[in-house]
């Protein structure tokens, strides 16, 4: 019994079996890994630049959508989007986080999410450097598109997380059940959604 307890991974370990949403987690990781692998391995295996470009763009688009709308909300309780004010034409980022008492974020889901979120842009920067060093300038547009999509999601979720923490802190400082708590949470939400 003691050896069985030792062989079980602890909470927050990087084991997909501990995830609260294993299908969401595996799909998220699949999109994150597949776009880099198709690009990197496609350079040597597939000789068709057009095929690699199309498949990588499709995987990046699927990853961007899935991360922004599904994985972020289910794994860490965060979501973001961009709204355009029809009167002024000004773009505004909107951040959404689950209520503090309604969603318990699994430590394993959170570790996988944030690790994958920050590692992928680094991998695309490495791919950009390799393309420059190898004088493969035709691949740079694809790498730049990948960098823009992955960095945008990384920055947006980082700001969304800061918004969530600040909003929760403000709400708990004044008590979330009274009027002052909701005013403080709304003020913090407005502060971060305007930037």
11-70 per-position pLDDT tens digit? 555 665 676 778 988 899 999 999 999 988 887 787 788 888 999 999 999 999 999 888
84-102 per-position pLDDT tens digit? 888 888 888 887 777 766 6
Burial class of 89 by CB neighbour count within 10 A (0 to 12, 13 to 18, 19+): exposed
Tokens representing residue 168 in the block:
């929760």
The residue extents of the domains of the chain are 19-184
Share of the chain above pLDDT 70, in %: 71
Give mean pLDDT, residues 134-159.
89
pLDDT at position 61: 95
Residue 144: alpha-carbon gap to chain centroid: 18
Per DSSP, what are the bridge partners of residue 3? none
């Amino acid at each position: 019994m003691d050896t069985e307890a030792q062989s079980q991974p602890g909470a927050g370990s990087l084991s997909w079996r501990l995830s609260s949403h294993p299908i969401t987690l595996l799909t998220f990781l699949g999109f994150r890994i597949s776009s880099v692998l198709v690009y990197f391995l496609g350079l040597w295996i597939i000789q068709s630049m057009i095929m690699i470009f199309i498949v990588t763009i499709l995987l990046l688009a699927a990853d961007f959508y899935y991360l922004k709308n599904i994985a972020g909300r289910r794994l860490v309780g965060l979501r973001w989007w961009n709204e355009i004010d029809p009167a002024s034409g000004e773009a505004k980022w909107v951040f959404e986080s689950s209520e503090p008492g309604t969603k318990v974020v699994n430590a394993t889901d959170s570790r996988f999410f944030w690790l994958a979120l920050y590692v992928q842009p680094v991998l695309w920067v490495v791919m950009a450097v390799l393309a420059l060093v190898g004088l493969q300038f035709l691949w740079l547009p694809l790498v730049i598109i990948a960098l823009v999509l992955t960095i945008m999601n990384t920055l947006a979720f980082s700001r969304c997380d800061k918004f969530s923490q600040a909003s929760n802190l403000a709400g708990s400082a004044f008590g979330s059940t009274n009027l002052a708590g909701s005013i403080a949470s709304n003020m913090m939400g407005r502060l971060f959604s305007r930037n």
